[in-house]
A and B are shown apart, each in its own frame.
Chain A
Amino acid sequence: MSAHSHSDKFVYHEPGLQHQFDDMGQQEESVSLGMWLFLAQEIMFFGGLFTAYLVMRSKYPLAFASGSNHLDAFLGGANTLVLIVSSLTMALTVYYAQKGNRNMQVGLIVLTMLFGLTFLGIKAYEYTDKYNHGLVPMAGLNRRVKADAPVAEHVGLVLPGETAVSASEAKPGAEPYVNPHGEFQWREYELVQHMMDKQRAEPNGHYLTLNEQLTYSTSPGSLILDKDKFRDKVRIFFYIYFVMTGLHALHMIIGLGIMTWLLWMAYKSTFNAEYFSPVEMSGLYWHFVDIVWIFLFPLLYLLGRHYEHLGL
């Protein structure tokens, strides 16, 4: 019996069974539990970010709403749908892996990856947009536009709060878009100004939270808007937006790596009714990343849409 560890290699009961397990049932149970505990870990990992989001938003709800209104809700919604479709194709991949249908597996994995790439593409487009408009919260990471740059450089740069195609003609009297150092830019104060005015008119109203009344004002309690202070809060929103979506995108990229490996395995007809747990585990991961986005979409993109009827 001393040769246990060596002889054991030659008495495999089933292919794919690792030496420490007695049978496939035990192996599947262990791998699945391990994956779920890993996902529990992931929930807490993103949960830390959601805590930061919760605290910051509860402190500065209006700054979050203002910032959120400058994300593209249509693209965000489209991305949600893209991820939902990819979740469907992933679920079907597991279904066909159990059936041992190689061609369907390969096709569905390719589809899933394509949707994943579409998601990342749209995300990249959104990030570029923020880069162009000076909404990246880190100095130097925004597009630099000098004051004396040729007009062509300004064209297409729609400023926060502006709708025209050219910065210099965006709004009558608007300053030209200047950002020589790539700083964070914010110019829309209509919403907060509106709320500040109403709060001043009705001191007992709930237009701003008490914390906001103190922290957006030039001096605590003055209820006169300090634009720089408000801009810092909007910057916090964009910071949280970039960290959350960035980490989510990183998970998507890791997911695509896993899918590439899975594609190769499926191509080699590795999976069948007895052995398909790698497909199932990858599916769990993919669905988890989808679920994170299901929460990110309303919590980041849709915070201030209900103020649009104010016409500001």
Chain B
Amino acid sequence: METVGAIETGSYGTAKLNYLNNGSTLKSWLLTKDHKRIAIMYLISVSVFFLMGGLYAATIRLELLTPASDLLETGTYNKVFTQHGILMVFFFLIPSIPAVLGNFLIPIMIGAKDLALPRINLLSLYIYWLGGAITLWALMQGGVDTGWTFYTPYSTTFSNTYVLAVGVGIFINGFSSILTGVNFLVTIHTMRAPGMTWFRLPLFVWAHYAVSLIFVLGTPVVAITLLLVAIERVAHVGIFDPALGGDPILFQHMFWFYSHPAVYIMVLPGMGIVSELIANFARKRIFGYEFVAFSSIGLAVFGFLVWGHHMFVSGQSMYASLVFSFLTMVVAIPSAIKMFNWTATLYQGSISFDTPMLYGLAFMGLFLIGGFTGLYLGALGLNVHLTDTYFVIGHFHYVMVGGQVIAYLGGLHYWWPKMTGKMYSEFWGRVAAMLIFVGFNLTFFPQLILGYLGMPRRYAAYPPEMQVLNIFSSAGASVLGVGLTMPVFYFIHSLIKGKPAPDNPWLLPGLEWRTSSPPPTENFDKPPVVTWEVYDFSDESGLDIEAAKREAAAVNA
């Protein structure tokens, strides 16, 4: 650190000072205020939770190979699917893209040195760890069996598992999301580089703006709801327990007020990434930029108006169901705007099928199915038939895994060279992407059919007639598992033996490609001034493509 002046810059193969080698002690990581280092620590943390959630998923699919509940007894099965849901939703899906890729990229994309509130950013990581630690402790003590939705009065009165500890863990973890949201909103408002106007922001940033709104306005409500559940469990008062005069539907209102918008937390950032991938790998300005940008905000706002569609059969008034059903149909509009505009962007683009783009295209197909099945579920009459069946499971896995996880992987591959300064194996990347796509569909499409045939969710046993489709699903899950494991190996391999990445491996005009790979601690060697439009692939972007090509060739040589 003291020999800074001696380090050469600009030539590859020498130790240029960047955020990764700027300090190597444990303290320099744990007390860092650098958004990029915090993002890397988030990356490692969410990967651990994803792995654990994945192991639970594998257990579920193993159990469902046979119609009887022979691998797990039913009580254990309840715990396994609950913990799969809790770890995946609260500790992987929600922080995945915002806290890892958003954290890393938003300041770079808008040309800032860091997030506006770096200490708050570090605090949010520690809160995430604290919440995660408490939850993991509770799982080790014996776990929880309420389902990730914590429906009352089962969670407040009857379940004798570790509801309280898990509730506290999620309550604490919520503040990590809130602080991240506050930080992003402030940063996007006040830290943009000169010339970086609102309509020059990459769509990834717009999507995170929308997500941050949900973080700030939604998360506190679920926090207070879980607090009320925890107190009710301890004090045995009946605000949610009907036996004591309470109202279980009140819990559902308060829970879904956050948790439905949270569904958009689990897909909006993915849409942001896909907008980047589609435009950049078709090398074409995205069709209807403003519409795509505002549809993100529209999804965030409308997402708050439709929570009642989770409660069609739970005793809410028919009038309310009618209103919520109608508004649910309205949400399809901003989603459709995005789909149509991505498709129009691809039209006559010069598309290259690099690994990230494979994920981008996979997202479009899978989200299409996820979105349409959502309309089935939002329709009042059909919903009565499909509520709490595997159709619901299939639907939201198409949105969350087919949407968020696929986009997260796409984003990770897309920005991996920037984050680590290393190239991964393109061949294995494509193989993994194909395996994941095939495995995913094989896993979840049969579940849509099973649900339509009437297989209920959350049961360890099912009628023997349904075994064939369940075997398909479990077989698909193993393919999916192999596909998801492969990136771990080739990413780690790339860190050790990968080729060094050029600054701009995909020859793109975005601001993040105009700094070195990996970026210096303050992101840019000199503060950028933006003079070009976003997704401008013409010469006016000021990007010297020939120079970038030469550089890439020099690195490859």
Contacts and interface: CB of A to CB of B under 8 A. Distances in A.
Interface of A: 1-6, 8, 18-21, 26, 29-31, 33-34, 37-38, 40-42, 44-49, 51-52, 55-56, 59-60, 137-139, 215, 229, 232-233, 235-236, 239-240, 243
B22 interface: yes
Given A1-B526, A6-B4, A20 B235 contact: no
A137 B235 contact: yes
Contact of A4 (B178, B236, B237, B522): B522
A60 B239 CA distance: 12
B182 A34 contact: yes
Interface in B205-253: 216-221, 223-225, 228, 231, 234-239, 244-247, 250, 253
A236 B245 contact: yes
Contact of A20 (B113, B181, B520): B113
A41 B235 contact: no
Given A5-B521, A55-B247, A243-B231, A48 B186 contact: no
B245 A215 contact: yes
Contacts of B149: none
B466 interface: no
Tier of interface size on chain B:
35 or more
B190 A29 contact: yes
Given A5-B520, A49-B224, A52-B239, A37 B247 contact: no
A154 B181 CA distance: 54
Contacts of A46: 224
B186 A34 contact: yes
Given A236-B246, A243-B228, A40 B17 contact: no
Contacts of A18: 118
B221 A30 contact: no
B412 interface: no
A41 B191 CA distance: 21
A3 B17 contact: yes
Contacts of B113: 19-20
B357 interface: no
Contact of B118 (A4, A20, A56, A229): A20
B220 A52 contact: no
B216 A45 contact: no
**Chain B CB within 10 Å, residue with most, of A1, A44, A137:** A44
A99 to B, nearest CB: 27
B185 interface: yes
B520 A37 contact: no
15 contacts: A1-B526, A2-B4, A4-B525, A6-B1, A26-B191, A29-B190, A37-B185, A42-B220, A45-B221, A47-B221, A48-B223, A51-B250, A138-B236, A236-B245, A239-B231
Contacts of A34: 116-117, 120, 182-183, 186
A6 B250 CA distance: 54
Contact of B114 (A1, A19, A137): A19
A30 B191 contact: yes
Nearest to B18: A2
A239 B220 CA distance: 20
Nearest to B221: A48
A44 to B, nearest CB: 4
A157 B115 CA distance: 57
Contacts of A33: 185-186, 189-190
A212 B234 CA distance: 27
Given A45-B223, A232-B244, 18 more contacts: A5-B22, A18-B118, A20-B118, A29-B190, A30-B191, A33-B190, A34-B120, A40-B216, A41-B178, A48-B224, A49-B224, A59-B247, A60-B245, A229-B245, A232-B245, A236-B239, A239-B231, A239-B237
B5 interface: yes
Contacts of B247: 55-56, 59
A235 B113 CA distance: 54
Interface in B159-212: 178, 181-183, 185-187, 189-191
A52 B189 CA distance: 34
B239 A139 contact: no
Contact of A8 (B7, B244, B522): B522
A45 B224 contact: yes
B16 interface: yes
Contact of A41 (B4, B182, B228, B236): B182
B254 A235 contact: no
A138 B234 contact: yes
**Chain A CB within 10 Å, residue with most, of B186, B234, B253:** B186
Interface in B364-422: none
Contacts of B118: 18, 20
B239 A4 contact: no
A271 to B, nearest CB: 20
Contacts of A40: 216-217
Nearest to A216: B245
Nearest to A139: B236
B221 A2 contact: no
Nearest to B527: A22
B253 to A, nearest CB: 7
A8 B524 CA distance: 13
Q: Which 3 A-B pairs have the closest CB atoms?
A: A48-B224, A45-B220, A138-B235
Nearest to B234: A138
B94 interface: no
B74 interface: no
Interface in B7-65: 7, 9, 16-17, 22
**Chain B CB within 10 Å, residue with most, of A6, A52, A229:** A52
A21 B17 CA distance: 21
B112 interface: yes
A52 B114 CA distance: 40
Contact of B237 (A2, A5, A51, A137): A137
Given A37-B216, A41-B216, A5 B522 contact: yes
A48 B250 CA distance: 11
Nearest to A20: B114
B220 A38 contact: no
A45 B227 CA distance: 11
Contacts of A20: 112-116, 118, 191
**Chain A CB within 10 Å, residue with most, of B1, B114, B116, B181:** B116
A44 B219 CA distance: 8
Contacts of B225: 48
Contacts of A49: 224, 228
Contacts of A233: 245
A41 B220 contact: yes
Nearest to B182: A37
Contacts of B244: 232, 235-236
A232 B238 contact: yes
Contacts of B183: 34
B19 to A, nearest CB: 9
Contacts of A44: 216-218, 220-221
Nearest to A46: B224
A20 B111 CA distance: 11
B245 A2 contact: no
Contacts of B5: 3
A63 B120 CA distance: 43
A35 to B, nearest CB: 9
B127 to A, nearest CB: 14
Given A59-B247, A236-B245, A3 B4 contact: yes
B267 to A, nearest CB: 22
Nearest to A136: B235
A33 to B, nearest CB: 5
